């Protein structure tokens, strides 16, 4: 398949695609949980959150495709790129090893996403401000859902507490990447399109620390994960699975 996101794509297009990737990858991870959640109600909750994320991805991909032109579509961006062309953060790529890992991954992401979307409501790019206004409401629910579950797991049986703490410890090294900035990000910050990712960290710390305290969990002291030189094996496997049908039937419509 061809790569629709060319090397000359501007920063705004790359930003939209990057966060479309984040939403799509996490949505797919949650879809993989269907039929594996501990309760029927939780099946529906995870499915609804996955749909919210998929909707956010579609808006961002459609915007990026319009800017790319040449008849590009949101499907091209979702299904026409290899794993090493995705810009999703490593946190959302991590596998669903157990329910504690799923919920802890959601908590760390959701609290960040709430601050991210809130800051983006002030963007000078109207599409970003518009999608952020809707996403803030959706993400507020996501935070309530994941934080309640983390407290239930952490402040529960010894076994549940161990699993929750283990999930937190294993996912923590991927947190710092959420607040990092590259050259593209710095330019968008300078142009008033987005807030600096680092400015989101203080409120994230306060909210996450309060939830961990309620859950009787210890904030890890582990260092950040090493910078990746290519796609993680987890992401490559996920993209292969997600793109299996469009690869088998390129250009198919139904």
Q: What is the pLDDT of residue 46?
A: 95
Per residue in 161-198, pLDDT (tens digit) is 999 999 999 999 999 999 999 999 999 999 999 999 99
Domain residue limits, the chain: 11-222+229-248
Query: Tokens in use for 2?
Result: 């061809």
Average pLDDT, the chain: 92
Q: What would the mean pLDDT of 240-250 be, rounded to a whole number?
A: 87
DSSP state of 216: T
In this predicted structure, the answer to whether residue 6 has a pLDDT above a threshold of 70 is no
Q: What would the mean pLDDT of 93-114 be, rounded to a whole number?
A: 97
User: How far apart are alpha carbons 226 and 235 in whole angstroms?
Assistant: 16
Q: Using CB atoms within 10 Å of the CB of residue 116, give its burial: 0 to 12 exposed, 13 to 18 middle, 19+ buried.
A: buried
Q: What would the mean pLDDT of 144-161 be, rounded to a whole number?
A: 97
User: How far apart are alpha carbons 77 and 11 in whole angstroms?
Assistant: 16
Band (5; pLDDT cuts 50, 70, 90)? low
Band (3; pLDDT cuts 50, 70, 90)? very low
221 vs 64, more confident: 64
The packing angle between helices 126-154 and 99-120, to 10°, is 150
CATH of span 11-222+229-248: 1.20.1260.10
User: How far apart are alpha carbons 123 and 117 in whole angstroms?
Assistant: 10
8 Å CB contact between 243 and 79 = yes
Q: What would the mean pLDDT of 6-20 be, rounded to a whole number?
A: 86
pTM of the model: 0.93
């Amino acid at each position: 398949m061809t790569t629709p996101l060319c090397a000359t794509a501007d920063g705004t297009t790359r930003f939209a695609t990057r966060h479309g990737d984040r939403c799509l990858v996490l949505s797919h991870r949650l879809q993989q949980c269907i039929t594996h959640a501990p309760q029927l109600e939780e099946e529906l909750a995870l499915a609804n959150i996955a749909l919210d994320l998929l909707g956010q991805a579609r808006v961002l991909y459609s915007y990026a495709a319009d800017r790319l032109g040449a008849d590009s579509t949101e499907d091209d961006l979702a299904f026409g790129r290899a794993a090493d062309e995705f810009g999703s953060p490593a946190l959302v790529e991590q596998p669903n090893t157990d329910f504690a890992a799923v919920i802890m991954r959601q908590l760390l992401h959701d609290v960040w996403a709430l601050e991210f979307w809130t800051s983006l409501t002030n963007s000078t790019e109207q599409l970003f401000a518009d999608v952020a206004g809707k996403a803030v409401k959706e993400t507020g629910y996501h935070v309530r859902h994941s934080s309640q579950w983390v407290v239930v797991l952490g402040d529960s049986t010894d076994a549940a507490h161990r699993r929750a703490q283990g999930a937190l410890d294993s996912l923590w090294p991927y947190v710092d990447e959420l607040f990092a900035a590259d050259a593209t990000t710095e330019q968008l910050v300078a142009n008033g399109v987005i807030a600096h990712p680092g400015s989101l960290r203080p409120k994230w710390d306060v909210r996450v620390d309060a939830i961990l305290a309620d859950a009787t969990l210890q904030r890890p002291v582990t260092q950040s994960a090493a910078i990746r030189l290519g796609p993680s094996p987890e992401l490559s496997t996920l993209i292969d699975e997600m793109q299996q049908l469009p690869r088998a039937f390129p250009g198919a419509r139904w």
